[in-house]
Amino acid sequence: MPTPLLYSKLGVGPMDVVAPEERWKSLRVYYATTRERVQDRKRIDYGNEESDALSLGMALINFGGPEVGWSELNEASKVVDRDGEWLLSISGLMELGGLDFSVDPPRVEESTAWLMADINRVLEDSRSGEVLIYVHGAKVNFYNACAFTAQLSHFMGRDLVPLAFSWPTRQRISAYALGNDRRRGERSARSLSILLEILSDYTEAKRIHLICWSAGGRVVAGAVKDLRERHPDLSEDELMARFRLGTVYFAAADVPRKDFLDALPALNAMAERVVVTTSSKDDALLSARLFMGGGPRIGQLTKDIAPGERAIAEAANRLEVVDVSRGTEERGFDITGHRYWFNHPWASTDIILAAWGLEPEARGLINAGHPRLWGIPADFPDRITPDMMDRFQKGGRANPGQSIRGAIP
């Protein structure tokens, strides 16, 4: 992942304020997966088959080879041009609990309590006390899900407790385009929904952030909608206090607009912030709309929105639409593709700042003539200031609600 503008502009590294006793290259990433575990006595791994269970555990992700150390990694995280390629690898994997969905209600494995306790220990040592969940798109394997979660966590200052949610997509686009993997993602939404409930009930997380890419947006939208529907009697304040969802970020999301608008009232009721990025040219989303149907995707820049759809969007007071293509002429370049949100240093900076709790204007964005619509201006680099690092350096915000943590039965 290229260095976000936030660091290259300010000349600081994401690990500058990490305590000396915690300065090691490897990064612990928790995981939750609906992939079937590979039958291998020598190692733990998860393949492409769909499981009836949600497996939980932790992975140790290593940055670079043995010849490089902490200081080299920190320096490489500050600069635009790096010397060589930094490869990520899983150096350890441990399964620690899960949920069995073959019975109703799902059965929580006893070892899950140990994992929740471990997450609480890490939360207590962190500055923010917050959890970051990454939900990947199609064509991704288990390794990629964990490794990319580690990259996001790394560039967010290694402070948010990272968790990779890996659903069983296969590594060929036809499996998704023909609908098989799409249905797998939709079924995995229930698992993510219950995971969110477990994390909110049995950990002390002040906030739980969700970042999703492409097809992962379907999983996240479905999960939050399911969570809301399972608690119809809770008010908006009660939902936010109990589940403590922070920023829900839809990056280049392959979610049909009609499906997203159907889930938007639930998202708006439960999350502090709902961010959707759009681009003028995303060939992957264009192909998805063409071959899979379902109408325009929320990651596509479109203007043909019906009055009823517009009313739903305007009623969502926590929605932020970031049009990364707006201001192309003034900037002299567009921000396009399907991977722009992590490949382009300007776009990745917005994800970091949004997860840190900054409002759009504080993130350097400009309003585009509508309360819900924002753009990245030509002078965006000049808007990156040391003040933005306060959230990173100080850590923690007021807890939006009291934890109702209990013991896992």
Q: What is the pLDDT of residues 330-376, one digit of tens each?
A: 999 999 999 999 999 999 999 999 999 999 999 999 999 899 999 99
Instruction: Specify the residue for token string 């939900």.
Output: 135
Lowest-confidence region among 92-96, 191-195, 402-406: 402-406
Taking residues 13-29, report their average pLDDT: 87
Q: Is the pLDDT of residue 392 over 70?
A: no
Q: What pLDDT was estimated at residue 394?
A: 62
pTM (2 d.p.): 0.94
For 222, residues 6+ apart whose C-beta sits below 8 A from its C-beta are 185, 186, 189, 190, 192, 193, 263
Q: What is the pLDDT of residues 185-222, one digit of tens each?
A: 999 999 999 999 999 999 999 999 999 999 999 999 99
For 4-24, letters b (16+ CB in 10 Å) and e give bbbbbbeebbbbebbeeeeee
Q: Is the pLDDT of residue 405 over 70?
A: no
Q: What pLDDT was estimated at residue 382?
A: 97
Instruction: Specify the residue for token string 């320096």.
Output: 75
Alpha carbons 399 and 206: distance in angstroms, whole number: 5
Q: What is the pLDDT of residues 293-314, one digit of tens each?
A: 899 999 998 878 889 999 999 9
Q: Is the pLDDT of residue 395 over 60?
A: no
Q: What is the pLDDT of residues 136-158, one digit of tens each?
A: 999 999 999 999 999 999 999 99
Q: What is the pLDDT of residues 264-282, one digit of tens each?
A: 999 999 999 999 999 999 9
Structure-token pair, residue 37: 């575990």
